[in-house]
Amino acid sequence: MDSPEQIKARVEAALPGVQLELRLNPAVPAESSLVVGPAYAVAVARFLRDDPALRLDYCSNVTGVDWLDATVKEKVKTRRRVAGEEQEVEETIERKRPGYLEVVYHLYSVALRHGPVVLRQRTRNRFESVQVASLTPVWRSCEFQEREVFDLFGVVFHGHPDLRRILMWDQFQDFPMRKDYVEPDDYEYEPTPHDKILDKARRHYPTGGAA
């Protein structure tokens, strides 16, 4: 199978003007992913599915990721005059990264027996601009999994044929897998609480519920 760089080049050649970004994964598995903008997501997905060299005909997994607002530290090398001499200095720059929600698709080719290619979509923020394009028209197997991401993360899939909650009940109002989800305060006594449960135990039984 082509490397992610080659796939990116092929997609860009086939779809001029496409918003596609390659995110390299520095970890050992080195599973790099392609981040696609919502306007081009369906076109890119169709290309990946129909391209004779890729034929990614099977979307095995759709999952969501919640990225909170964060300060990102970056090390930048700059040239600067230090004590009258021009030197290369490493500087740490902090910048604020607004939070967003991300949807990750793992694509395989059953026909050519390769994969996965990781495709990602991002929402603009975590509050009102949470739309991404649904890839259910391209891979039918996305339908329930996109519903699950909608249910648990609150990502709205534009173009999904049947976007309803799938695990929680319809009247439920929160998104439980988001990192700022507050669960119902219904702690009940248990004999050996630990970690986060111990905090809850101390709050509910301040005089010895942890014992």
Partner 1 sequence: MNEGLRSELSKQGVFTTTLQELYNWGRSNSVWPLNFGLACCAIEMIAASMARFDISRFGSEVFRPSPRQADLMIVAGTVTKKMAPLVVRLYNQMPAPKYVIAMGACAISGGPFKQGYNVLKGIDRYLPVDVHIPGCPPRPEALLHALITLQEKMRGEPLAGPAPARHADPSAPGEYPVPAYGPYDLTPAKNDELWRPAPLPRGE
What is the binding site for partner 1 (CB under 8 A)?
167-174, 176, 181, 183-184, 186, 188-191, 196-197, 200, 205, 207-209, 211
CB closer to partner 1 out of 82 and 168 = 168
CB of 12 to partner 1, least distance (A): 43
CB closer to partner 1 out of 64 and 115 = 64
Helix (H) or strand (E) holding 150: helix 142-153
CB closer to partner 1 out of 74 and 185 = 185
- The distance of Cα 170 from the centroid of its chain, to the nearest Å, equals 24
- Between helix 4-14 and helix 41-50 the angle, nearest 10°, is 110
Q: Please state, as a whole number, how many other Cβ atoms lie within 10 Å of the Cβ of residue 61.
A: 14
CB of 187 to partner 1, least distance (A): 8
Q: Please state, as a whole number, how many other Cβ atoms lie within 10 Å of the Cβ of residue 15.
A: 15
Residue with tokens 């259910």: 136
CB closer to partner 1 out of 71 and 173 = 173
CB of 166 to partner 1, least distance (A): 10
185: burial class by Cβ within 10 Å (0-12, 13-18, 19+)?
exposed
CB closer to partner 1 out of 90 and 183 = 183
CB closer to partner 1 out of 115 and 193 = 193
CB of 81 to partner 1, least distance (A): 57
CB of 157 to partner 1, least distance (A): 22
| Ramachandran bin of 193, using left for φ above 0, alpha for ψ from -120 to 50, beta for the remaining angles | beta
Tell me: cis bond preceding 206? Omega within 30 of 0 counts: no
CB of 191 to partner 1, least distance (A): 8
* Residue 10: strand, helix, or coil: helix
